[in-house]
Amino acid sequence: MYQTFIEVAMVTFATYLLASPKNQMTPQVAFVSLTLFSQLRVPLFMISEMIGLTVQTMISNTRLKTFFVEEELDSEAVQRENSNAFFIIINFEKSIEVQTATFSWDSDRNIPATLRNIDLTINRGQLVAVVGKVGSGKSSLLSAILGEMEKRQGYVGIWGKCAYSSQQAWIQNMSLRKNILFEHEYDQLRYKQIIDACELTRDLEILPHGDYTEIGEKGINLSGGQKARVSLARALYQNSDIYFLDDPLSAVDAIVGEQIFKKAIGPEGILKDKTRILVTHSLNYLNECDLIVVINDGTITHTGKYQELIDDPNVADVFKTLQQSSEVEDDEDDEIPPEMDDENKDGEESDKSDVSAPGKINSRFVSRHSTVHSRGRKSRMTVDTEVSL
């Protein structure tokens, strides 16, 4: 900045002298001008800052306005008991209950409801898989239970504190550790366990400052798979009673996904005693789930254990379709854009979905998941971990 000041002074004096032969460089002219320049230095610097801040203010203002004019959600739509231990004790068995409920993303009753006639009871400690085609309403079901959707009829009850990991990983502009802790106290043992369960140990070794590495805006210096795992780690760290996990394994490759399921989500994982609702499009984990919920076109078509469902010819067809669609998706994932293809050539073992080298963004997954969620008309600042109920 001081350099600029000298340059400005020199250019101004040169222009002054060259502009007319009558112009003389006297001490009076020189010193008065220098004083003026020095006084102008700070305001000029502030003008550039101010322009930047004004633009930011305008953008934030538009966003906040859109948020504030949204219709209010009915806080009574979901009956929640998370603080009153008495209610939890007398209703110990149940975690979630939904009875003949219909939900919509829009308050306009002329628009058909997204989820219809939902009946679902989930007991404490159960692992429930939600499967269905893309757009069938899996994510909407989680949002509905969390009270994010308009309830048109029916009953929803939740007993316990909830944590939510959204389909689109949500990363804050702070260090990786802070992203996981999310304002909670650091508990070394628990933290290490979660890092290991989310298969983040290797990533922390590669990142320039380990878990102190600052993560850029929207997780710019993390790959899609890394973001998904950090987001899951954050949800895990919350120590809640009920976990809503919206397809957390879709952005990681099969082997890493299997490990995460085993160490974190599955019957032997960290969350083994918690109630877990896992949206997934992978059929590999279904036989380890206590209950499978099949959704099609906004309604629950089948519920049951894996063996029961696989023996049912109607559901076998659904599973087959899912298997095919996930295979197609995997094939699509192999179509690596030319620039990413070059990156992948370097490492033979770099997996097809989780381009985990730090600093690389797995844009395929980012775009795949953003298609539905970017509509978020009523998304109400969806926070993908702790939902205070």
Residues forming beta bridges with residue 369, ordered by sequence position: none
Name residues contacting Mg ion, limited to 119-158 (CB under 5 A).
138-139
Residue number with the shortest CB distance to Mg ion? Answer: 139
Q: Residue 138 interacts with ligand ADP (CB under 6 A)?
A: yes
The least CB distance from residue 372 to ligand ADP, in Å, is 4
Q: What are phi and psi of 44, to 5 degrees?
A: -65, -40
Q: Give the whole-angstrom CA distance, residue 168 versus residue 251.
A: 10
Q: Of 82, 140, 179, 353, which lies in the binding site for ligand ADP, with binding defined by CB under 6 A?
A: 140
Instruction: Pick one of Mg ion, ligand ADP, none as the site partner of residue 259 (Cβ within 5 to 8 A by kind).
Output: none
Q: Residue 303 interacts with Mg ion (CB under 5 A)?
A: no
Site map 57..96 versus ligand ADP, x via CB under 6 A: ----------------------------------------
Name residues contacting ligand ADP, limited to 93-122 (CB under 6 A).
105, 114
How many residues contact Mg ion, by CB under 5 A? 3
Q: Strand 127-132 vs strand 275-279: parallel, antiparallel, or unpaired?
A: parallel
Q: How many CA atoms lie within 13 A of 209 on its CB side?
A: 9
Q: Of 120-128, 264-272, 315-323, 368-376, which part binds ligand ADP (CB under 6 A)?
A: 368-376
The least CB distance from residue 146 to ligand ADP, in Å, is 12
Instruction: Pick one of Mg ion, ligand ADP, none as the site partner of residue 105 (Cβ within 5 to 8 A by kind).
Output: ligand ADP
Find out whether 225 and 354 touch, Cβ atoms under 8 Å: yes
Q: Give the whole-angstrom CA distance, residue 214 versus residue 208.
A: 9
SS3 2: helix
**Which residues does 133 contact at the CB level (< 8 Å), separation at least 6?**
296, 321, 322, 325
**Which residues does 142 contact at the CB level (< 8 Å), separation at least 6?**
130, 164, 244, 246, 277, 279
Handedness of CA 20, 21, 23, 27 (dihedral sign): positive
Q: Give the whole-angstrom CA distance, residue 193 versus residue 77.
A: 36
Give the single-character DSSP code of 335.
Answer: -
Q: Residue 147 interacts with ligand ADP (CB under 6 A)?
A: no
Q: Residue 167 interacts with Mg ion (CB under 5 A)?
A: yes
Q: Which helix (H) or strand (E) holds 16?
A: helix 2-19
Instruction: Pick one of Mg ion, ligand ADP, none as the site partner of residue 114 (Cβ within 5 to 8 A by kind).
Output: ligand ADP
Instruction: Pick one of Mg ion, ligand ADP, none as the site partner of residue 135 (Cβ within 5 to 8 A by kind).
Output: ligand ADP
SS3 122: strand
Find out whether 36 and 7 touch, Cβ atoms under 8 Å: no
Q: Residue 377 interacts with ligand ADP (CB under 6 A)?
A: yes
Instruction: Pick one of ligand ADP, Mg ion, none as the site partner of residue 226 (Cβ within 5 to 8 A by kind).
Output: none
The least CB distance from residue 163 to Mg ion, in Å, is 17
Residues forming beta bridges with residue 150, ordered by sequence position: 104
Q: Residue 375 interacts with ligand ADP (CB under 6 A)?
A: yes
Which positions lie near ligand ADP, rule CB under 6 A?
105, 114, 132, 134-140, 372-373, 375-379
Q: Which residues bind Mg ion (CB under 5 A)?
A: 138-139, 167
